[in-house]
């Protein structure tokens, strides 16, 4: 039965979580993509270390699903090459490259050094604002967030409100690291080339460094600062800003 259109976004998410509570990750994606109570949906991908899992699921379910790829123009060359490789190998036909407005970059970061003075401002300029503009056309978006990644995600559900206008879908919410590894191995999926060089979590080149054995997988992101999130994930409509002990 369709949900009451007058329900709040939080109530819609709660009903959808109940509807899909016992489903596997790929089933959540498959059913959500054709559920009228979810609406128009896009997959947002960084083409990072674990991104291939959701991208492969998308290729199986709907190769023409909109995939929003945020090119901050500060990515590693290996990430750009990996993006092209996966698009070809998986047959993804609707990858939309999202970039910051050229005039805004020229005004706020003309020499490309903003990240040295304010990583938050740089992320907002090159990632958060462009993504928000791209997502304005959609009712929901798919992310690769998982419960094991942080204490702040320990109760993560398949569906959650994203601000006041969109749903966020987290098909891999219940997966552990071993599930990700098994899926990649069983489906013979190509790895991001930087993973083998000590980068288990990959963002922009100026703000990502290799991780030493025994370190947290995200220790190389914004190393030496309290920053752990770029700002594209929200709680109660506000950008996440958390300390290292709750790294996401």
Give the residue numbers annotated as catalytic, written as ranges: 230
DSSP state of 178: H
In a domain, 247, yes or no: no
In a domain, 248, yes or no: no
d(CA 135, CA 165): 10
d(CA 80, CA 63): 20
pTM higher than 0.95, yes or no? no
pLDDT of amino acid 220? 76
pLDDT of amino acid 150? 53
DSSP state of 180: H
In a domain, 193, yes or no: yes
**In 3-state terms, what secondary structure has residue 97?**
strand
> Contact, 205 vs 177, CB < 8 A?
no
User: How does the average pLDDT of the chain come out, rounded?
Assistant: 86
In a domain, 213, yes or no: yes
Helix/strand/coil (H/E/C) assignment for every residue in 108-164: HCCCCCHHHHCHHHHHHHHHHHHHHHHHCCCCEEECCCCHHHCHHHCCCCCEEEECC
β-pairing verdict for 166-169 and 140-142: parallel
DSSP state of 50: S
- Number of structural domains the chain divides into: 1
Residue range(s) defining the domain that contains residue 53: 9-236
β-pairing verdict for 159-162 and 95-98: unpaired
Instruction: Count the Cβ atoms, other than its own, within 10 Å of residue 169.
Output: 26
Least confident span in 5-14, 83-92, 131-140, 144-153: 144-153
Beta bridge partners of 56: none
In a domain, 153, yes or no: yes
Instruction: Count the Cβ atoms, other than its own, within 10 Å of residue 9.
Output: 17
In a domain, 243, yes or no: no
pLDDT of amino acid 233? 46
In a domain, 246, yes or no: no
Residue range 20-48: mean pLDDT, rounded: 93
Tens digits of residue pLDDT in 92-151: 999 999 999 999 999 999 999 998 888 889 999 999 999 999 999 999 999 988 876 554
The CATH number given to whatever domain includes residue 75 is 3.40.50.620
In a domain, 118, yes or no: yes
């Amino acid at each position: 039965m369709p949900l009451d259109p007058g329900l709040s976004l939080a109530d819609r998410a709660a009903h959808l979580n109940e509807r899909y509570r016992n489903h596997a990750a790929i089933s959540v994606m498959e059913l959500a993509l054709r559920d009228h109570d979810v609406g128009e949906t896009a997959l947002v991908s960084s083409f990072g270390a674990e991104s291939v899992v959701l991208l492969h699921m998308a290729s199986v379910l709907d190769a023409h699903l909109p995939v929003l790829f945020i090119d901050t123009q500060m990515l590693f060359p290996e990430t750009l090459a990996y993006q092209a490789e996966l698009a070809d190998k998986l047959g993804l036909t609707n990858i939309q490259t999202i970039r910051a407005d050229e005039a805004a970059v020229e005004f706020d970061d003309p020499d490309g050094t903003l990240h040295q003075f304010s990583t938050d401002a740089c992320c907002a300029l090159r990632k958060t604002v462009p993504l928000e503009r791209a997502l304005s056309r959609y009712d929901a978006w798919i992310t690769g967030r998982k419960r094991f990644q942080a204490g702040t995600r320990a109760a993560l559900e398949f569906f959650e409100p994203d601000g006041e206008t969109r749903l966020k879908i987290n098909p891999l919410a219940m997966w552990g690291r071993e599930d990700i590894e098994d899926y990649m191995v069983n489906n013979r999926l190509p790895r991001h080339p930087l993973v083998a060089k000590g980068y288990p979590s990959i963002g922009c080149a100026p703000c990502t460094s290799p991780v030493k054995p025994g370190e947290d997988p995200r220790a190389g992101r914004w190393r030496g600062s309290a920053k752990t999130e770029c700002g594209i994930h929200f709680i109660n409509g506000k950008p996440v800003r958390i300390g290292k002990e709750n790294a996401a």
